[in-house]
C-alpha cells in the first residue's frame, strides 16, 4: 500500500480508533473500505460450502501430499522466492506482522488479527499447521478461505509452480514443498483480496522458513524452547538463532510515511540463553526492541466465566477491563505480546496509546480453535494442542488455576519426534486417569509404546490403553459415566494438534 506524507494524520486516526477509521489509503487517494467478510458474495449472502467444493479441495490436498512435507525443510528460500517472483511478488503489496517462536504463535497471531480488524483494517491471517484443512490456515477478514477459492487460486498459480519445479529438477533438486506452495498461495490470496496487513505465523524455525520472504513491519518472537532439534539445533541458543532469523532490517519504500518509524522486535518472556541470542539479532538488525516484563506486561488477570479479565500494560499505556475468551495465564501473556505487536504496528508510544474500547472489542472477539477449546458439554470435554513439554506445562497450570474439576480423564496421543516422557510428566499431576491412544497420523507413537512410558509415570492402575481416538473417547465417557460416582469430572484430549483435531471433529459430528 502506498501512503503519502499528507495522509499521516488519517493513519494516526486509524490507530486511535476514531470515526475516520474505515478508510483505505491508496495511490489515488482515500477510499471507504468496510472490509466485507471473505465468504460473503456481492449480494451479501453467505457462500455455502458444497460437497463438490470439499471433494475438489480433498483432491488438491491429496495431490500436495505427494510433495516434500514440513518434516523435511529446505535450508534455502530460493525456491519460494523464484515462485513469488513469477507471481509478481504478492507478498510485497501488504504490511506484515511476522510471528516466530515455539509456543503461543497461533494464539498470538489470532489475537493480533482480531485487534487489527477491530481497528478497521482488512487482515489476512496465515497460521500452521492445519487442524483439518488448508482452509484453517488462510483467513481473510476473520473467515476461513472458501474451499473453492483455494482451488481457484491453485489453478492460477499451478503453471508457475510447474515452471519452478522444472527449473530445480534440472538442477537435481526437489520440487517445491507443500508448505512452500501454501505460503505462496496464501500471499496470492491476500494480494487478490486485497488485505491491508497480513499476520503471518512461521512454520518451523525462522531463518529458512518459507514465510521469511516477507518484509515485516513488526517481528514477534513468542517463548522459545527446545524443538525440532534435528533441524534447529541441540541447544536453546541454537534454536533461538533460527527464530531470530525473522528479525532483519526492513526495506522501507521512499513514500512509506505511515509504517513503523523503525524496525521493531517484540519479545515474549524468554529463558536467558534465548533472550541473549534474540537481543543480539535485534542489535545486528538495528531494530528497536520491546520486551515482556519491561516495556509491556500483564498487570492483572482474573478468571471469569468463559475466559479471563485482564489489565495490560502496553507500549502506549494501561488497558483495563479487557475480556479475553481464552483460559490460562499463558494466554494472558500471549495477549500482552499481541497487543504490543499491534501497538508497535500503529506507532503507539507512551504518550499515545490505542483506543481502549477498540482494544477491548478486538480481544473479546478472539477464538483459537484447538487451544483449550470446549467441544462437548456432557461430559465436559476440552481439546488442547499442547505437543511439547512447555505446552503441557501451560495446560496443566490452566487446569489447576482456571478450572475446578473434581477430576480429569486425559486422552493423550503424541507424535514420534516429541519428548513424550516429559509431556506425560507435566500432565501427571492434573490427570486422575490417563487413556493412552494413537491418532491417525503416521508419526503417532504406537499406543502400547506410549503406554510403557505412561506406566512408569502414572502407575499401572491409572493408565488405560486404546488403539484409536474413537475408542479412547468412548472409554473416557464410560469411565466418567460408569465408574466415577461424583459430578464435576471432565475430559481433556491433548498431546498433538492431530489429537485435538480428531477429537474436535468427532464431537462436531456427534460421535
pLDDT tens figures, 106-132: 999 999 999 999 999 999 999 999 888
The per-residue pLDDT for 39 is: 62
Q: What confidence score (pLDDT) does residue 162 get? A: 98
pLDDT at 260: 54
Dist. CA 347–CA 15, nearest whole Å? 8
Average pLDDT over residues 409-425: 96
Q: Cell 493423550 belongs to which residue?
A: 412
Query: Could you tell me which residues come within 8 angstroms of residue 248 by beta carbon, excluding any fewer than 6 positions away?
Result: 216, 219, 263, 285
pLDDT at 16 over 70: no
User: Which residues face 314 on adjacent strands?
Assistant: 317
Tens of pLDDT, residues 226-236:
888 778 889 99
Q: Quick one: pLDDT band at residue 40, thresholds 50, 70, 90?
A: low
- For residue 21, what pLDDT is reported? 34
Confidence of residue 250 (pLDDT cuts 50, 70, 90): confident
Question: Mean pLDDT in the chain?
Answer: 89
Distance CA 176, CA 69 (A): 9
Q: DSSP states of 203-250 as a string?
A: SSSSTT-GGGGS--SEEEE-------HHHH-SSHHHHHHHHGGG--PP
- Rounded Cα gap, residues 206 and 146, in angstroms: 28
Q: Is 219 exposed, middle or buried (0-12, 13-18, 19+ CB in 10 A)?
A: buried
pLDDT-based confidence at residue 44 (cuts at 50, 70, 90): low
* Cell, residue 465: 490403553
For the segment 142-192, what is each residue's pLDDT rounded down to a tens digit?
999 999 999 999 999 999 999 999 999 999 999 999 999 999 999 999 999
Grid cell 487460486 is found at: 153
- The stretches of 321-468 forming alpha helices (DSSP H) are 329-346, 356-364, 389-402, 420-427, 447-458
Residue 351 is predicted with a pLDDT of 81
Distance CA 69, CA 46 (A): 34
Residue with the bigger pLDDT between 393 and 6: it is 393
Band (484; pLDDT cuts 50, 70, 90): confident
Contact criterion met (CB below 8 Å) for 122 and 138: no
What's the whole-number mean pLDDT along residues 376-397? 96
DSSP 128: -
What is residue 216's predicted lDDT score, i.e. its pLDDT? 96
Instruction: Identify the pLDDT of residue 259.
Output: 52
CB of 105 within 8 A of CB of 111? no
Q: How far apart are CA 266 and CA 415, in angstroms?
A: 30
CA distance 479 to 476: 5
Contact 65, 178 (CB under 8 A): yes
Is it the case that residue 71 has pLDDT exceeding 80? no
Taken in order of first residue, the domains within the chain and their CATH numbers are 35-292 (3.40.1190.10), 373-508 (3.90.190.20)
What kind and span of H or E run contains 409? strand 407-412
In the predicted structure, residue 2 carries a pLDDT above the cut 60: no
The model's pLDDT over 294-332, given as tens digits with 9 standing for 90+, comes to 999 999 999 999 999 999 999 999 999 999 999 999 999
Could you tell me the pTM of the whole model?
0.89
pLDDT of residue 75: 84
Amino acid at each position: 500500500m502506498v501512503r503519502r506524507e499528507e495522509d499521516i494524520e488519517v493513519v494516526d486516526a486509524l490507530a486511535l480508533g476514531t470515526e475516520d477509521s474505515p478508510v483505505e489509503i491508496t495511490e489515488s487517494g482515500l477510499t471507504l473500505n468496510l472490509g466485507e467478510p471473505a465468504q460473503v458474495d456481492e449480494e451479501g449472502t453467505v457462500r455455502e460450502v458444497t460437497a463438490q467444493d470439499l471433494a475438489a479441495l480433498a483432491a488438491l490436498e491429496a495431490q500436495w501430499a505427494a510433495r516434500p512435507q514440513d518434516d523435511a525443510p529446505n535450508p534455502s528460500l530460493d525456491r519460494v522466492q523464484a515462485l513469488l517472483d513469477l507471481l509478481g511478488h504478492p507478498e510485497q503489496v501488504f504490511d506484515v506482522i511476522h510471528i516466530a517462536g515455539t509456543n503461543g504463535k497461533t494464539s498470538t497471531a489470532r489475537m493480533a488479527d482480531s485487534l487489527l480488524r477491530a481497528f478497521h483494517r482488512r487482515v489476512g491471517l496465515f497460521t500452521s499447521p492445519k487442524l483439518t484443512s488448508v482452509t484453517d490456515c488462510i483467513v481473510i477478514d476473520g473467515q476461513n478461505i472458501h474451499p473453492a477459492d483455494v482451488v481457484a487460486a491453485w489453478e492460477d498459480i499451478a503453471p508457475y509452480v510447474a515452471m519452478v519445479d522444472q527449473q530445480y529438477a534440472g538442477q537435481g533438486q526437489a520440487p517445491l514443498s507443500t508448505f512452500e506452495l501454501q505460503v505462496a498461495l496464501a500471499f496470492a490470496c491476500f494480494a487478490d483480496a486485497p488485505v491491508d496487513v497480513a499476520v503471518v505465523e512461521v512454520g518451523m524455525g525462522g531463518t529458512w522458513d518459507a514465510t521469511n520472504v516477507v518484509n515485516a513491519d513488526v517481528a514477534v518472537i513468542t517463548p522459545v524452547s527446545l524443538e525440532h532439534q534435528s533441524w534447529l539445533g541441540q541447544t536453546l541458543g541454537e534454536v533461538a538463532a533460527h527464530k531470530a532469523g525473522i528479525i532483519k532490517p526492513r526495506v522501507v519504500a521512499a513514500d512509506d510515511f505511515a509504517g513503523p518509524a523503525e524496525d521493531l522486535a517484540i519479545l515474549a518472556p524468554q529463558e536467558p540463553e534465548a533472550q541473549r541470542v534474540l537481543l543480539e539479532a535485534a542489535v545486528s538488525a538495528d531494530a528497536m526492541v520491546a520486551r515482556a516484563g519491561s516495556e509491556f506486561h500483564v498487570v492483572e488477570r482474573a478468571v471469569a466465566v468463559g475466559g479471563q479479565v485482564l489489565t495490560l500494560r502496553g507500549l502506549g499505556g494501561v488497558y483495563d477491563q479487557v475480556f479475553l475468551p481464552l483460559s490460562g495465564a499463558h494466554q494472558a501473556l500471549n495477549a500482552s505480546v499481541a497487543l504490543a505487536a499491534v501497538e508497535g504496528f500503529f506507532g503507539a508510544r507512551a504518550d499515545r496509546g490505542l483506543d481502549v474500547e477498540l482494544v477491548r472489542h478486538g480481544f473479546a472477539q478472539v477464538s483459537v480453535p484447538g487451544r483449550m477449546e470446549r467441544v462437548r458439554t456432557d461430559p465436559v470435554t476440552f481439546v488442547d494442542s499442547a505437543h511439547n513439554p512447555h505446552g503441557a506445562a501451560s495446560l496443566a497450570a490452566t487446569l489447576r488455576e482456571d478450572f475446578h474439576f473434581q477430576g480429569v480423564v486425559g486422552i493423550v496421543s503424541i507424535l514420534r519426534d516429541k519428548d513424550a516422557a516429559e509431556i506425560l510428566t507435566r500432565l501427571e499431576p492434573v490427570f486422575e486417569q490417563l487413556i493412552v491412544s494413537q491418532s491417525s497420523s503416521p508419526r503417532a507413537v504406537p499406543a502400547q509404546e506410549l503406554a510403557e512410558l505412561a506406566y512408569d509415570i502414572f502407575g499401572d492402575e491409572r493408565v488405560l490403553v486404546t488403539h484409536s481416538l474413537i475408542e479412547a473417547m468412548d472409554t473416557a465417557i464410560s469411565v466418567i459415566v460408569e465408574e466415577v460416582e461424583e459430578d464435576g469430572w471432565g475430559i481433556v484430549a491433548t498431546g498433538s494438534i492431530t489429537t485435538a483435531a480428531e477429537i474436535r471433529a468427532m464431537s462436531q459430528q456427534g460421535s
